[in-house]
């Protein structure tokens, strides 16, 4: 990953601005803290590559039971270079630690994400 | 990692037998499920290396607030090849997702683990 | 309960195959672990009858805050022989331990389940 | 606040009866315990004003991840005299303790509540 | 169980008064609410026998991660007629729902309780 | 409270430096984030007085089940001007939302804090 691209640009891709506009509409200071502290401070630290960080993020959000943010970071993990198999392994790995219900809910988010990607890919160019 | 060594042998090292004896003293069937399902089935799956799995395990146990198991897997992560820096990054990364109290508690386990390792290393040969 | 019928067939009834097909569509290995470990290993153990196990399952899912799985096991508890009163007592009993919000959410799932059963029963034969 | 008005009448306002009817439809005894123990016993205790109690309630529900009850008590906090700023500060304050995902979910409830209030205020008299 | 004996007398046995004195030393009103609401209201409801209620209590406390109260109710379950096997089945049953770490912690409490009982039984009469 | 004194100086009092030294010994960057983000950014925001913030902190830590940090903030709440009664009301208030086990654990921390203060006050001047 080029040093010129921030972690949040990689993770959110073309949805970056829309996601931060939505956060700012909730609360501008909240959006600022998430951008400055969570992303531009913690995510940008050296010592762990972005793909690994996104797999950790998926695990944390699976454990918290936060379906919307989980879907964002399942997509982010794949944008950061994780294969579908690596994402599936990450979700399955949580089962012995936190039980099956949280894992089933996480795979439902992954299913929904993959279904939408398939629909987009098979859509006609101007669909 | 050689294919001849199981994930649980790498993670637990010379404490392997003691850990499973302690589990069996709690409940033999519980020990069996942890060995057969958690370790010999889930941990042995392909698609994610053991170091990454152990960093995920640390994250899950930090999130659950399980200090004893967390210490075991902090040690396990380092036995599986994670550097101290990678372990620290993994714990710090959780702060924006689950807050500082869980992260402080996790670093206290890491501190205790590192202190004991230092004490062991600086002890005289027959200490 | 006949020894020839598995716990999962009693709990899921005629929805059994649909439930496991949906799990397999999420991830075939996840579906396999839930079937082989959670159901065919843990649920089939002797020493506790299926009705009691399903009341425990309802309690665990109420505590986790997993509404969809809770509804499945509220239905499962009644299929395993629990009366509506026993299910209500199980949900109310959790209030002093985990507080009212989780209990209210659980009763909302029970309400939705009972409403659907009433609608089905009062529907004309070919409705 | 007049001593003649109960905490639950202040918090729920004109929705009071509807809320307790909905609870009674879930389970009459549950509704009774919430009314008698949670509201008429705990909420009516001296030593802490109702506005502070409602800010604490918002914090507890943010931490639990109970969006519907959270929205009820965000409204209740404002009915008990909290300004929108005080409510926002309460939600932001939780971020270092429980992380951003729970706080984002809480602000989404606040946004939805404020949007509805704006819609109501700008509606024509008989709208 | 005789109708003349309260659930809390069965569960706590000869430790009943000591337990409520300790609670009252924490806060007299807290002790009163636990006695009047949790025990004399919820526990005394008909529709579910005390043994089943205590197995549900063990499950709730395992899920919460409250080791001291869990030990009290593991003992309470056995005082209410649960066999050691039924208690073990209850703890094992939680594994697929909430994961192994909580279950291991619960069995550690059971182990500690059974060890103390063995020590007491094998002690000389005036030990 | 004077504007010249930071929230963390009020909350931690003469233990301030010791607390941050202990955090820095765990991890210097962790200590920096807690000081700069949690305290000097979030705690210093206008719109909510420090006493209310500390009561919210106690509630969050009670809900998380973090006994050590809870004790620090029970003390902090009283340093920020909360009476013992206000602190007790804050802890009791959580019972209907998160259940009694978390509240009992919180009062045990308060008891331990008050006992130590009494011991200190009744000690001879050079004790």
Alpha-helix runs per DSSP H in chain C: 7-12, 16-26, 28-33, 50-64, 67-79, 84-93, 95-98, 100-122
Domains identified in chain F, total number? 2
pLDDT at F123: 66
State whether E101 and E56 are in the same domain. Answer: yes
State whether D28 and D61 are in the same domain. Answer: no
pLDDT at E4: 77
pLDDT at B127: 40
**Six token digits for residue C66:** 């997993």
State whether F122 and F66 are in the same domain. Answer: yes
State the smallest CA–CA distance between residue B68 and chain F in angstroms: 15
- The string of pLDDT tens digits covering residues B50-91 is 999 999 999 999 999 999 999 999 999 999 999 999 999 999
Between chains, do B96 and D99 touch, taking CB under 8 Å as contact?
yes
Least confident range from A112-121, D48-57, E27-36, F34-43: namely: A112-121
**Chains touching F, CB cut-off 8 Å, 3+ pairs:** A, B, C, D, E
| Residue B36 pLDDT grade (very low, low, confident, very high; cuts 50, 70, 90) | very high
Structural domain boundaries enclosing F17: 1-46
> Mean per-residue pLDDT for B13-27?
97
pLDDT at E32: 98
- The string of pLDDT tens digits covering residues D2-56 is 457 999 999 999 999 999 999 999 999 999 999 999 999 999 999 999 999 999 9
Nearest to E37 among D29, D37, D45 (CB): D37
State whether D94 and D63 are in the same domain. Answer: yes
> Mean per-residue pLDDT for B94-110?
98
pLDDT at E127 over 60: no
Nearest to B25 among E92, E101, E111 (CB): E111
- The string of pLDDT tens digits covering residues C81-93 is 999 999 999 999 9
pTM of the model: 0.95
**Chains touching A, CB cut-off 8 Å, 3+ pairs:** B, C, D, E, F
Q: How many CB pairs under 8 A join A and E?
A: 16
Q: Which residues contact A72 (CB under 8 A, 6 or more apart)?
A: A11, A12, A19
State whether D41 and D91 are in the same domain. Answer: no
State whether C64 and C78 are in the same domain. Answer: yes
Q: Tell which residue, D18, D59, E48, has the closest CA to residue F73.
A: D59
State the smallest CA–CA distance between residue F27 and chain A in angstroms: 14
- The string of pLDDT tens digits covering residues E73-120 is 999 999 999 999 999 999 999 999 999 999 999 999 999 999 998 887
Nearest to B61 among E92, E101, E103 (CB): E101
For D62, which residue in chain F has the nearest alpha carbon? F60
Share of chain F above pLDDT 90, in %: 88
State whether D63 and D42 are in the same domain. Answer: no
Provide, for chain E, the percentages of residues in helix, strand and coil under a 3-state DSSP scheme, each rounded to the nearest 5: 80, 0, 20
Q: Tell me, what CATH number does E120's domain have?
A: 1.20.1290.10
> Mean per-residue pLDDT for C99-119?
96
Assign residue C47 a region (left: φ > 0; alpha: ψ between -120 and 50; beta: otherwise). left
State whether C111 and C65 are in the same domain. Answer: yes
- Chain A residues whose CB is inside 8 A of the F45 CB are 29
State whether D66 and D28 are in the same domain. Answer: no
pLDDT at B56: 98
State whether D119 and D87 are in the same domain. Answer: yes
State whether A76 and A127 are in the same domain. Answer: yes
Q: Where is A47: in which H helix or E strand?
A: none
State whether B101 and B40 are in the same domain. Answer: no
């Amino acid at each position: 990953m080029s040093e010129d691209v921030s972690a949040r640009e990689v993770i959110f891709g073309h949805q970056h601005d829309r996601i931060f506009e939505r956060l700012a509409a909730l609360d501008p200071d909240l959006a600022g803290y998430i951008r400055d502290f969570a992303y531009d401070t913690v995510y940008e630290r050296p010592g762990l590559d972005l793909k690994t960080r996104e797999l950790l993020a998926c695990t944390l959000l699976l454990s918290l039971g936060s379906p919307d943010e989980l879907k964002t970071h399942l997509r982010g993990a794949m944008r950061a270079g994780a294969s579908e198999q690596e994402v599936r392994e990450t979700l399955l790995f949580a089962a012995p630690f936190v039980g099956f219900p949280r894992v089933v809910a996480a795979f439902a988010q992954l299913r929904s994400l993959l279904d939408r990607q398939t629909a987009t890919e098979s859509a006609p160019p101007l669909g």
